[in-house]
Amino acid sequence: MSHRRPHALLFDLDDTLWPIAPVIAAAETSWHAWLAEHAPEVAQRYSIAELRARRMALLERRPELVADLYQLRRVALQQAFAEAGADAAHIDGAMRHFQVRRNAVTPYADVLPALAELQALLRLGVITNGNADLEVIGLHHHFDTVLASSRFGRAKPDPAIFLAACAAMGVAPQDAVYVGDDLRLDVQGAQGAGLRAVWMNRAGSTVHLAAGVVPDAICASFDGLLAWVRGQMLH
């Protein structure tokens, strides 16, 4: 593996800086309760699972929506409102309610201390396919560049989004390292664009072996990531 000294470190968000499954589960429960109050026709007709299935079916028909999961949710909700005969005036409120709950994330315990130390070593950025609002969450100040697929128009693992983030940070891809939990979207995506990739593997999974994916480093925590980056900065 290359031991080139990195100039920038870029991150995935969901399941890298914080666990996302419990956040989405709680958000969807709260969202469905909001619908039951404001658009009961929709909540009575569709369960949380049925609304989720409708989004997945819509994504199969309109794969371009993978770049904007918020828009995917909105379009699917518009269709559900229309079919249930509900007042479309409540769609904006429903989406705002979900967004607030979706941003109620709790970073892994090792993330904030390590981010502060990493920020002192090199420039930090974000590339995400998700809809987290770092300003609302309170982490925006750590990052020079935040590039979301919903604004860029293409999603990981498309190399274009990695190259655009590097360009925004003024670094060559080979001088950047991407950190993420997903082997295909994060590790293969970043490496395909010429960046190095660190697999954040908190669970100690070995799926990369069967998948034939070779991360430039594997870390089980942000403490491990910090130690790896410090080692790279010595070169």
The domains located in the chain, with CATH, are 8-19+105-232 (3.40.50.1000), 21-102 (1.20.120.1600)
- Tokens 């559900």, located at residue: 80
- Tokens 């005036």, located at residue: 89
pTM summary value: 0.92
Q: Please report the pLDDT score of residue 222 as a whole number.
A: 98
Low-confidence ranges of the chain (pLDDT < 70): 1-3
Q: Please report the pLDDT score of residue 110 as a whole number.
A: 98
How is residue 5 written in tokens? 């000294």
Give the chain's end-to-end CA distance (angstroms, integer): 13
**What gap in Å lies between CA 192 and CA 210, rounded to an integer?**
19
Residues 217 and 199: beta-carbon distance below 8 Å: yes
